[in-house]
Structure 1
Amino acid sequence: MKLLSGCPILEELEAKDLIVYTLCKEFPTDTDVPSLSNLVRANISDPHIQFDWIHNIHHLRTQLRGPFGFDTMFHNLIHLELIFDFNFRYLFRSQHKCRWLTKILKNFPKLQTLIIDEINKVDTVHDYCDGKWEDPTIISECLLSHLTTCSLRNYSHISCELQFAKYIMKNSRVLSTMTFQCAKFIETNTKLQMSRELSLYPRISGACKILCI
């Protein structure tokens, strides 16, 4: 906390494998929050870095252990890379992740590039995404005016991933590239079939190209 508070004009931050010990305070004050308002780029894999500290950021790459956080508005964020690390198993994890993603998009009104990855992903026999999918009633501003690039890495074509991809394609008015980077365990024939299927889904942007690699 002392280190970050002493860097008021810091522009780039990378925090990896960081362990932070803090004392719990019943009534935290404004002085407990580091001033990182000039930060424009960050690569964070540590949950102790609070997102509201970096609300003015432009480029953010962060590793998450579950679908939570991002309650802060990021008015200047144009590039976001979310890496989910699910080393532990819990029920409906992909379903929760995809629905959470559609909800937090409203917090990035100027977002142009969205990259979603999931490391330690394994082939699943069962698809635990049987719950009914519902699109948000309000379309996020970034989809209406700014999002041009969306990439889903380690894509495995399970129901909730597909529903999220379809939601992005049918609501992103200026989307130019939608990329599906298939998981390594996907066989070539299956990948070709997925590519043909994905190319048939409607896109509101006439300039949108679908890449399945």
Structure 2
Amino acid sequence: MDIISGLPDELLIKILMLVPTKVAVSTSILSKRWEYLWMWLPKLDYGPRNCSESECEKLRCFLDRNLPLHRAPVLESFRLDLCCSRFKPENINMWVLTAVSHCLRELEMMLYESDPAKPFVLPSNLYACKSLVVLKLGGDILLDVPTMASLPSLKTMKLQSVRYFSDKTLPLLLSKCPLLEDLVVDLREDDTPRYLGVVVPSLQSLSLYIPYNNHIIDGFVLVTPALKYFKLMDYNEHYCLIENMPNLIEAYLDVDCPDIKDLIGSITSVKRLSICSKDMLGEGFVFNQLEHLEVCLCMEHSSNQLFRLLKASSNLKRLDISLMRGHVSQGMDDWNQPTTVPECLLSSMQNLNWSSYTGEPQEREIVVYILKHAVHLKTATIKSSSELGVTKSDMLKELELSSRASAACQLMFE
């Protein structure tokens, strides 16, 4: 310990940053040399929310007493993961304001189990923090954004099951973030805005989750021309107005929309697409930049959906066929064999990966069709389902005996 204690303060603080905040604080009892070192930590993490009532009281007393004395001129991050019913709002507000006064760059707050009639309201000063770059909020937090808000440095925001003061709250907050690049919005099943508007010219990554049985939201509008990554999980019937995303690189769509036309029309420039849709893809769409396609097979019409996508993607190089996480197959209908072979099979497709393959006739016919027509196919990897009526070896023999357009294609079975 004497050798370590002789190191410069800057190096000791870096060492303390490698351990949990609670452990770093405990080093204050080692010696006079270590007594106040933890107070220079630029990253503070307090929780967890499942601590006992006595532990929560100790944490409250500790933060009330010590946080105002913290010495780091800049707080790189401040994280609270608390059961807020055991803390008074005025205590939490004071801790947040103290962190903000230290040129806070990242705030992460997860507050749960509050009085439903009295969710926690963030201090208004937080919405004027010039230094804040990352804001992550979750749980029983009510967003009430003042009109004079300004978050000029904010680039990343994650709102997970928070509450909104009004339908205008989220659009107002987004309008105060001129540099925002990464946005995640996970709505609650209830107590959500009726209108979800995301109009952010600078946004590059957007993830939206609208849970089942959310009957409050009427729909959403997206104006994000610079978007590169888009994830939408939406299982409700409502309107969606989406402007074109010409810079989109990757999209993940798990949707149950009454009309998928507007949604698909906005992402036709995408290069990597994962999709599961209850609605059938219409004719006339062209994905001329799509190189990697993943299609979920849980819907009855998924086989015909697959071939419509292949027909629309003339430059496709990789095809993944799978079940998205949490999805269960509803049984595949007979598919309509195309009258013309999709262009991508003749010119560009190099890799086929099929997960949860059962060997059912409909699935086998699709694999055989692709092997028969994919001229430039290099690998076809088939991963069998854990619940099979036939052995892996039998399925492999069936596929090995089928004709292949590509003599170089390696058929692998896992």
Pairwise same-fold verdict (TM > 0.5): yes
**2:328 paired with 1:120:** yes
Pick closer, same or farther for the CA change 1:145–1:195 going to 2, 3 Å.
same
Contact 2:354–2:383 at 8 Å: present in 1 too? yes
**RMSD between superposed Cα atoms in Å:** 2.7
* Alpha-carbon spacing, 1:59–1:103, altered in 2? closer, same or farther (3 Å): closer
**Residue of 269, 272, 276 corresponding to 1:59:** 272
2:281 paired residue among 60, 69, 86? 69
Does residue 401 of structure 2 align to residue 196 of structure 1?
no
Find out whether 1:162 has 2:364 as its counterpart: yes
> What letter is aligned with 1:97?
S
Q: 1:169 to 1:113 in 2, by over 3 A?
A: same
Moved more, 72-81 or 100-109: 100-109
Q: TM-score, normalised by structure 2?
A: 0.41
Change (3 A) 1:2 1:85: same
Corresponding residue of 2:245: 36
Note the residue ranges of structure 1 that are not aligned, 5 or more in a row. Answer: 24-31, 87-92
Deviations 1:17-50, CA, capped at 9 Å, x for gaps: 4757438xxxxxxxx5413111111122134571
Partner of 1:46: 255
TM-score (norm 1): 0.77
Offset at residue 102 of structure 1 (A): 2.9
Distance 1:70 1:112, change over 3 A: farther
Q: Which residue of 2 aligns with 1:102?
A: 307
> What SS class does the counterpart of residue 247 from structure 2 fall into?
coil
> CA contact under 8 A between 2:281 and 2:305: conserved in structure 1?
no
Could you say which structure has the greater relative contact order, defined with CA pairs below 8 angstroms and 6 or more residues apart?
Answer: 1
- Give the aligned partner of residue 89 of structure 1: none
The structure where strand makes up a greater share of residues is: 2
Checking the alignment, whether the CA contact within 8 Å between 1:41 and 1:59 is kept in structure 2 is yes
d(CA) in 2 for partners of 1:22 and 1:114? 30
Identity of aligned residues (%): 25
The yes-or-no answer on 1:211 pairing with 2:412 is yes
Aligned to 2:265, the other structure's residue is in SS state helix
Contact 2:297 2:303 in 1 (8 A): no
Counterpart secondary structure, 1:169: helix
Separation in 2, partners of 1:138, 1:128: 20
Aligned counterparts of 1:143 and 1:73: Cα–Cα separation in 2 = 16
8 A contact 1:75–1:110 mirrored in 2: yes
How many Å separate the matches in 1 of 2:232 and 2:294? 15
